[in-house]
Amino acid sequence: MDKTLEFDSVSLAYGGRPVLDGMSFALEAGEIACLLGSSGCGKTTALRCIAGFETPAAGNIRLEGEMVSGGLAAVAAHRRRVGMVFQDHALFPHLTVAGNVAFGLSALGRGERKARVEETLRLVGLAEEAARYPHQLSGGQQQRVALARALAPRPRLLLLDEPFSNLDAELRERLAREVRAILKSQGIAALMVTHDQHEAFAIADKVGVLHQGRLQQWDTPDALYHGPANRYVAGFIG
């Protein structure tokens, strides 16, 4: 199977303190994966390196075989065709739902842009909310708008940074399952970071457990639960 993402021996330090320590993993086409770990373990830094917001000190990052970071390669963030969904949604309060989703589609003609916005809002179940503003929506609806905005430009990889952390536990797991279904229907590879095991297991085909910048195990949720690689993974998964 073709690989959408190859994260190969990536290292990064802040002020001499290792944040990512030779981390390696890969995502197959259409696969949904999750980096799971406690605060400060390096999971969000890994996302930022993939998106192009941080430059690793060592290692290579490839998207669909294209080297975007490593060696002489340093592809700018806006040229990587990577979608990002942030923890706080980062919606524009002065734009409608449709306006938020259309924001990254300026290269399209007006008619094509309108059609893509409508198509994406139908996909996330918000076609009836197009004319409303973010403050008029629930937290779950705002997260769907953020997802629609990230999906609208047809990214080759979607990154989600603790996207459900501001929601209550029941809604978190339900929305995680719904987002999984949406991504699978579109065949889009995605990488999410979270500290919530239940959320990770609800959405991911593969889960990587991080501790102090090192990947302890990269496996299916079932294999992690029934065959933890070490004592740390066993304790974290419970």
Per-residue pLDDT of the chain (238 residues; tens, 9 = 90+): 589 999 999 999 988 889 999 999 999 999 999 999 988 899 999 999 999 999 999 999 999 999 999 987 789 998 999 999 987 778 999 999 999 999 989 888 889 999 999 999 999 999 999 999 999 998 889 989 999 999 999 999 999 999 888 777 777 888 888 889 989 998 999 999 998 888 899 899 999 999 999 999 999 999 999 999 999 999 998 7
| Dist CA 221 CA 185 (whole Å) | 21
Q: Are strands 157-161 and 190-194 parallel, antiparallel or unpaired?
A: parallel
pLDDT of residue 34: 96
Give the architecture (CATH level 2) of 3-81+155-237: 3-Layer(aba) Sandwich (3.40)
pTM of the model: 0.91
- The secondary structure of the chain as a DSSP string is --EEEEEEEEEEEETTEEEEEEEEEEEETT-EEEEE--TTSSHHHHHHHHHTSS--SEEEEEETTEEEEETTEE--GGGS-EEEE-TT----TTS-HHHHHHTT-TTS-HHHHHHHHHHHHHHTT-GGGTTS-GGGS-HHHHHHHHHHHHHTT--SEEEEESTTTTS-HHHHHHHHHHHHHHHHHHT--EEEEES-HHHHHHH-SEEEEEETTEEEEEE-HHHHHHS-SSHHHHHHH-
